[in-house]
Amino acid sequence: MSSNDPTRVEAFRIDVEEAGQLIADNMPQYGSISVPLAEATGQILRQKIIAERDQPPFDRATMDGIAVAATDLAGGTRAFKFDGIQAAGQPAKACNGPGHCLEVMTGAVMPTGTDTVVPVERINVADDVATLENGYEATPGQFIHGCASDHAQGDVLLEPGTHIDGAEMAILTAAGQANVEIARWPKIAIISTGDELVDVGEAIEDYQIRSSNDRALQASLERHGCKQSMRAWLPDDPDKLLQQVGTLHADNDVLVLSGGVSMGKYDYVPGILKELGVKLIFHKILQRPGLPMWFGISADNKPVFALPGNPVSTLVCFVRYVLPAIESAMGAMPPVRLQLPLADAIDFEPDLCWFLPVALKPGDDGIPCAEPRPTNTSGDFIGLRGTDGFVALPRAESHFPEGFRADFYPW
């Protein structure tokens, strides 16, 4: 039976949720590597991060001013003799006793014998004596970021699976992590198939088109932290496909193909993958765009995603299935899936889940909503400009009123 036999492929039409689950069930787990901290930006953390020290590690002044003892204030002292300056980065100095103070700078350790900061704006200085402004009452302990008040040494600061952004980078640095364990990206090959495709920089005929899918997917991967993926182009030629997909499969951990998975005469991809021994998990999902999507796994546990070639289908399938599956297999925490209300009503008759491109905008109440931006066809990738992602409108319904809430998938 050929891979283009409609009776065979019809049997594999499944729902979007089932497709996502089948992919998750079949994905392998990827390992981790240790890298210098600077290389961890945008990556997935794979170790638990424990606080090296208390944070803050000392009672820290949070205002420029004078450090005094609250007992002096309680006793009615309002004029303090200067004992010197306590700057940030200096070990704690000592206050010489009742009625004395030190000038203190933001970020400095509180001098021994002091526990309260009076801001510089609230004092008058003459002859080495600081006098509190008339009527000013200081609260004991004010303007101090107390030792260990944010967390104590030994606390868990970050869990494995966290994406490393600016805040996480600051935490890793504070925890003294010169090196950090991050998820290893699998080797991913993005393969465009189609005789009509021409790369940028090459002469092009009227009947040809630029191969944009491979670059779109590579850009998406790169934005998600995958620094190295490879792109390849293959013609609609079964012998060349068999040989070169075989080589690419041997050299990589994940294959993402686009094109050649539908019902056309030259849609050789499912047959070739079968010949290469890749086990079919499903072919065709009840969705638009991207109905002909194919997924399989090889005996050596390498997932193969074969996406339809129409550029909107390719990108939508990649964002809906491929990227989350890879990140999850790398140990990432599940992404937060927001539901957003539609900004306008829209209808969709086919008995399919509709991945509708949307642009985010503030609703009347300022709360984000999703403005439908349907493309002309699944080939109209220009229609994606200015969109932020897509919403998944369920199969069960065909009329989606304004305010209808749907899962949002950001690009």
One residue of 56, 194, 290, 303 binding Mg ion per CB under 5 A: 194
Q: Which is nearer to ligand AMP, 167 or 263 (CB)?
A: 263
Which lies closer to Mg ion via its Cβ, residue 289 or residue 309?
309
Rounded CA-CA distance 325/323 in Å is: 5
Distance CA 388, CA 118 (A): 49
Taking a C-beta distance cutoff of 8 angstroms, is the pair 53, 47 a contact?
A: no
> What does the per-residue mask of binding to ligand AMP show for 340-379, with x meaning CB under 6 A?
---------------------------------------x
CA distance 241 to 267: 11
For the bound state, the minimum distance from the C-beta of residue 357 to ligand AMP, rounded and expressed in Å, comes to: 17
Closest approach of Mg ion to the CB of residue 276, in Å: 19
Sketch the per residue contact string, 247 through 276, with Mg ion: x for CB under 5 A, - otherwise. ------------xx----------------
The span from the CA of 355 to the CA of 314, in Å, is 12
Question: What string marks each residue from 118 to 157 as x (binds ligand AMP by CB under 6 A) or -?
Answer: ----------------------------------------
Does 209 interact with ligand AMP (rule: CB under 6 A)? yes
Tell which residue, 254, 244, 231, has the closest CA to residue 300: 254
Return the number of the residue (43 or 244) whose C-beta is nearest Mg ion: 244
Residues 231, 212: Cα–Cα separation, whole Å: 11
Binder among 3, 252, 258, 387 for ligand AMP (CB under 6 A): 258
Among 259, 296, 303, 372, binds ligand AMP (CB under 6 A): 259
**What is the closest distance, in whole angstroms, from the C-beta atom of residue 278 to ligand AMP in the complex?**
18
Applying CB under 6 A, the span of 45-53, 113-121, 123-131, 188-196 interacting with ligand AMP comes to: 188-196
Q: Which of residues 121-180 bind Mg ion (CB under 5 A)?
A: none
Query: How far is 399 from 350, CA to CA, in rounded Å?
Result: 11
- Residue 55's CB is within 10 A of a number of other CB atoms, namely 20
Would you say 264 or 335 has its CB closer to ligand AMP? Answer: 264
Is 211 or 229 the residue whose CB approaches Mg ion more closely?
A: 211
Token pair belonging to 149: 């008040």
Q: Is 308 in the site for ligand AMP (CB under 6 A)?
A: yes
CB of 196 to Mg ion, least distance (A): 7
Alpha helices for 198-268 (secondary structure H): 213-223, 238-251
**End-to-end Cα distance, the chain:** 38
Q: Give CB contacts under 8 A, 24+ apart, made by 158-162.
A: 158/45, 158/48, 158/49, 159/45, 159/48, 159/333, 160/45, 160/46, 160/47, 160/48, 160/331, 161/44, 161/45, 161/46, 161/331, 161/332, 161/333, 162/44, 162/45, 162/333
Binding mask 279-318 for Mg ion (x = CB under 5 A): ------------------------------x---------
407 DSSP β-pair partners: 339, 392
Sole binder of ligand AMP in the list 3, 213, 229, 387 (CB under 6 A)? 213
Residue 363 CA to residue 369 CA, distance in Å, equals 6
Nearer to ligand AMP, 6 or 166 (CB): 6
CB 371 within 8 A of CB 344: yes
3 contacts ligand AMP (rule: CB under 6 A): no
Q: How far is the CB of 307 from ligand AMP (least distance, A)?
A: 8
Who contacts 114 (Cβ-Cβ below 8 Å, separation ≥6)?
A: 67, 68, 69, 95, 101, 102, 104
Considering only CA atoms, which of 137, 132, 133 is closest in space to residue 79? 132
Query: In this structure, what token pair is assigned to residue 318?
Result: 């990649």
Q: Which stretch binds ligand AMP (CB under 6 A): 34-42, 100-108, 209-217, 367-375?
A: 209-217
Nearer CB in complex with ligand AMP: 56/194 = 194
Radius of gyration of the chain (CA): 31
Among 186, 290, 311, 324, binds ligand AMP (CB under 6 A): 311
Residues at the contact surface with Mg ion, assessed by CB under 5 A: 194, 259-260, 309
Contacting residues toward ligand AMP, per CB under 6 A:
192, 194, 196-197, 209, 211-214, 258-260, 262, 264, 308-311, 379
